């Protein structure tokens, strides 16, 4: 694979080569990954049916709109922006915005990857339990997952090189979601099952948990890396990115919202933070669901950590050589090993899967998803109608306030859970 030098853009990864269908598959399968198995618990249990469904719809509409808006700023005055941080730093003429955007993205992508590692480890542990295996600690399965992600990142180093792997991921996604829905719906139709949809807790607890749920819904719909994914698309990049986003917010949304809603309908407020723990189906179904979730996560996690790989590869690889060349292979191995060792260590030490998602959606993703695109619009469209500017200023103010409140709620949840966990704990302490 050749190092890219296009139109003054320098990247160790591929630019301007992928079809919108490939990127669309990446978005559909990426957002329909194992994370959705925790969303019934994280998004709907704290909100209940009415506010839960309203929140799902409102956040999805604004996320789709903001993503569509941001995709339109891939080219500004003839200049192409392949990284979100470059776009913010250049347009707002403030170096601080470059670093704020970059640090936010890095934290989002690292936390997301740690969450993937936790989910993969959880899936392996569930398989082990179904076969009556030895009661190995969760940490052993987390290490296995981290090693699997590391190996995949060596053989498939970039988003564009995922190619046929996205077809595999699509098949795996349809497989595990189809089997999961069949078993969960069967459980839900069981007339002997008592369903309780009551939102529990004190008034203050309900309020904070509701805002945590909104954070999770934001994380469900966005990753804050639209320009980085769009950079891989062939011309016309804006039109093609919007086609890919259309797939995400139609087919993809049907999957990840569908599983969340059906899981809550079937098990009510008792739904687990990891949905397969609730199902009462045959052993083969549980094993197959967890095995496919683990395998699919190896592929889907790669899309969300790829911008970090790109930054490290562009900085430390020899750009005149191929990414798998003899001159670069040792550096590539060291960079990937360092990254996945760090992420695996943190995931094993602090297994707060749901808490990561809440903090991710509040302090980091809300600005990147909703606030920054409107800031860009106001800066670029200086001659826009007054009503348009008022609309975007309203978005900035509203979602900035939401960011503050949801961040407070997420930090409160983490503080509460720290008292219930120990470092490298296998399960939550009672």
pLDDT at 1 over 50: no
Mean pLDDT of 135-145: 90
- C-alpha 232/C-alpha 323 separation (Å) is 16
Residue 153: predicted pLDDT? 94
Side-chain-facing half-sphere of 202: CA atoms under 13 Å: 2
Q: How confident is the model at residue 291 (pLDDT cuts 50, 70, 90)?
A: very high
Mean pLDDT computed over every residue of the chain:
88
pLDDT at 136 over 90: no
Predicted confidence (pLDDT) per residue in 231-268, tens digit: 999 999 999 999 999 999 999 999 999 999 999 999 99
SS3 content of the chain, % helix, strand, coil (to 5): 75, 5, 25
> Is the bond leading into 236 cis (omega within 30 degrees of zero)?
yes
Whether the Cβ atoms of residue 203 and residue 210 lie closer than 8 Å to each other? no
Whether the Cβ atoms of residue 306 and residue 109 lie closer than 8 Å to each other? no
Whether the Cβ atoms of residue 20 and residue 244 lie closer than 8 Å to each other? yes
Token code pair at residue 264: 């809550």
**Residues 6 or more apart from 60 whose CB is under 8 A from it?**
217, 221, 249, 253, 257
Of 279, 376, 326, nearest to 81 by C-alpha is 376
- C-alpha 390/C-alpha 126 separation (Å) is 51
pLDDT at 361 over 70: no
- Specify the pTM: 0.89
Q: Which residues are bridge partners to 79 per DSSP?
A: 76
Point out the least confidently predicted range of 13-22, 79-88, 337-346: 13-22
Mutual angle of helices 20-31 and 163-188, in 10-degree steps: 40
Token code pair at residue 427: 């399960």
pLDDT at 355 over 90: no
Which residue do the tokens 């670069």 mark? 328
SS3 79: strand
Across the chain, how many H-helices and E-strands are there?
17, 4
- C-alpha 154/C-alpha 338 separation (Å) is 13
Token code pair at residue 16: 């301007």
Q: How confident is the model at residue 7 (pLDDT cuts 50, 70, 90)?
A: very low
- C-alpha 234/C-alpha 37 separation (Å) is 33
Mutual angle of helices 48-71 and 203-221, in 10-degree steps: 40
Q: What percent of the chain has pLDDT over 90?
A: 54
pLDDT at 428 over 80: no
Q: Write down all domains in the chain, each with its CATH number in brackets.
A: 20-419 (1.20.1740.10)
pLDDT at 93 over 80: no
Mean pLDDT of 287-300: 93
pLDDT at 4 over 60: no
Residue 43: predicted pLDDT? 93
- Please give the C-alpha separations between residue 400 and each of 62, 81, 197, 207, 404, in angstroms, as whole numbers: 14, 25, 31, 18, 6
CA 117 to chain CA centroid, Å, is: 12
Of 422, 414, 85, 406, nearest to 214 by C-alpha is 406
Q: How confident is the model at residue 135 (pLDDT cuts 50, 70, 90)?
A: confident
Token code pair at residue 172: 């795996």
**Residues 6 or more apart from 83 whose CB is under 8 A from it?**
227, 228, 231, 307
**Residues 6 or more apart from 35 whose CB is under 8 A from it?**
115, 116, 119, 219, 220, 357
pLDDT at 78 over 90: no
**Residues 6 or more apart from 283 whose CB is under 8 A from it?**
130
pLDDT at 5 over 70: no
Mean pLDDT of 29-45: 91
Predicted confidence (pLDDT) per residue in 341-354, tens digit: 999 999 888 776 55
- C-alpha 191/C-alpha 158 separation (Å) is 49
- C-alpha 97/C-alpha 84 separation (Å) is 10
Residue 352: predicted pLDDT? 62
Residue 113: predicted pLDDT? 92
């Amino acid at each position: 694979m050749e190092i890219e030098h296009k139109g003054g853009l320098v990247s160790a990864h591929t630019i301007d080569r992928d079809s919108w269908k490939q990127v669309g598959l990446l978005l559909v399968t990426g957002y329909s990954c194992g994370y959705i198995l925790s969303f019934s618990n994280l998004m709907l249990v704290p909100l209940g049916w009415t506010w839960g469904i309203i929140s799902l719809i409102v956040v999805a509409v604004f996320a789709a709109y903001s993503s569509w808006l941001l995709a339109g700023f891939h080219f500004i005055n003839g200049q192409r922006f392949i990284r979100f941080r470059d776009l913010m730093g250049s347009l707002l003429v403030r170096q601080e915005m470059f670093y704020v955007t970059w640090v936010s993205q890095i934290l989002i992508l690292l936390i997301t990857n740690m969450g993937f590692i936790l989910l993969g480890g959880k899936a392996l542990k569930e398989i082990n339990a179904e076969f009556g295996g030895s009661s190995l600690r969760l940490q052993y399965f987390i290490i296995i997952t981290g090693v699997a992600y590391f190996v995949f990142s060596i053989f498939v180093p970039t988003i564009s090189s995922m190619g046929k792997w996205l077809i595999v991921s699509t098949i795996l996604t349809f497989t595990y979601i189809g089997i999961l829905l069949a078993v969960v719906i069967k459980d839900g139709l069981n007339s002997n099952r008592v369903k309780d949809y009551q939102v529990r807790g004190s008034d203050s607890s309900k309020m904070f948990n509701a805002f945590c749920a909104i954070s999770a819904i934001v994380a469900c719909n966005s990753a804050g890396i639209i320009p980085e994914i769009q950079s891989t698309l062939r011309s016309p990049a804006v039109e093609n990115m919007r086609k890919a986003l259309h797939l995400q917010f139609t087919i993809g949304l049907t999957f990840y919202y569908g599983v969340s809603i059906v899981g809550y309908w079937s098990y009510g407020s008792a739904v687990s933070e990891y949905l397969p723990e609730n199902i009462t189906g045959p052993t083969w179904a549980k094993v197959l669901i967890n095995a496919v979730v683990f395998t699919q996560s190896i592929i889907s996690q790669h899309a969300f950590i790829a911008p970090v790989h790109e930054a490290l590869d562009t900085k430390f690889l020899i750009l005149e050589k191929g990414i798998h060349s003899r001159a670069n292979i040792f550096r590539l191995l060291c960079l990937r090993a360092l990254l996945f060792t760090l992420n695996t260590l943190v995931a094993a030490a602090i297994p707060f899967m749901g808490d990561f998602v809440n903090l991710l959606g509040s302090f980091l993703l809300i600005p990147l998803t909703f606030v920054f695109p409107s800031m860009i619009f106001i800066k670029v469209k200086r001659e826009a109608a007054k009503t348009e500017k008022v609309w975007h200023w309203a978005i900035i103010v509203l979602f900035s306030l939401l960011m503050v409140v949801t961040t407070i709620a997420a930090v409160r949840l983490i503080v509460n859970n720290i008292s219930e966990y120990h470092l490298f704990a296998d399960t939550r302490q009672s």
